[in-house]
Amino acid sequence: MVSNSDSSGALAQRLSDSGLRSTPQREVIYSVLLKKRDHPTAEDVFARAKPEMPMISLATVYNCLETLVQCNLVRAVNFERGPTRYCPNLRPHAHFHDEQTGATHDIDLPAGVLDQVKSVLPVNFDAASVEIIFRGKARTET
């Protein structure tokens, strides 16, 4: 299973780069995120990990997700005050939140758009990151 070893390898690498250990829990959590990229909540991830690892705890899911975010393998995404959602898409992208369905869509950002957006900042503002969130209605084709 090439893609699995690849992601496992990448994960193990990133973890050890940060002085952290590769654990079965962290690998399962990460694989769950890669398998279905629909921006699940921690509870969603917990439910999806359970069948593969019945003894995993919700606290561990929170711990692992936080670890993956710190390693820059996963982005945490928030809409209003809803539960945090997790996204393994590392390309620069915005999020579109469908108010009808609650679904979250990735919107890839062409190079240059982020720079354009950052150009609105006065010189004394030094932005480490920019986040763009759309809200509206998405027409998914049949």
Partner DNA sequence: AGCATATTTAGAATGATTCTAATTCCTTGT
Partner DNA sequence: ACAAGGAATTAGAATCATTCTAAATATGCT
Residues that bind Mn ion (CB under 5 A): 78
Which H/E stretch holds residue 75? strand 75-77
Site for DNA (CB under 7 A): which residue of 4, 13, 24, 52?
24
35: nearest Cα among 51, 13, 15 = 51
Place of tokens 């995120």: 33
Contact with Zn ion (CB under 5 A) among 22, 23, 63, 89 = 89
Considering the rule CB under 8 A, would residue 127 count as an interface residue with its own copies? yes
Query: Of 14, 105, 115, 142, which lies in the binding site for its own copies, with binding defined by CB under 8 A?
Result: 105
Please, are residues 49 and 32 in contact by the beta-carbon 8 Å criterion? yes
Per-residue string for binding with DNA, 73-112, x by CB under 7 A? Answer: --------xxxx----------------------------
129 binds its own copies (CB under 8 A): yes
Q: Which residue has the tokens 């999806």?
A: 48
CA 36 from chain center: how many Å?
Answer: 11
54 binds its own copies (CB under 8 A): no
Q: How far is the CB of 40 from DNA (least distance, A)?
A: 10
Closest C-alpha to 133, from 90, 88, 99:
99
Q: Which of 27, 32, 87, 97 is in the footprint of Zn ion by CB under 5 A?
A: 87
Residue appearing with tokens 């079965």: 24
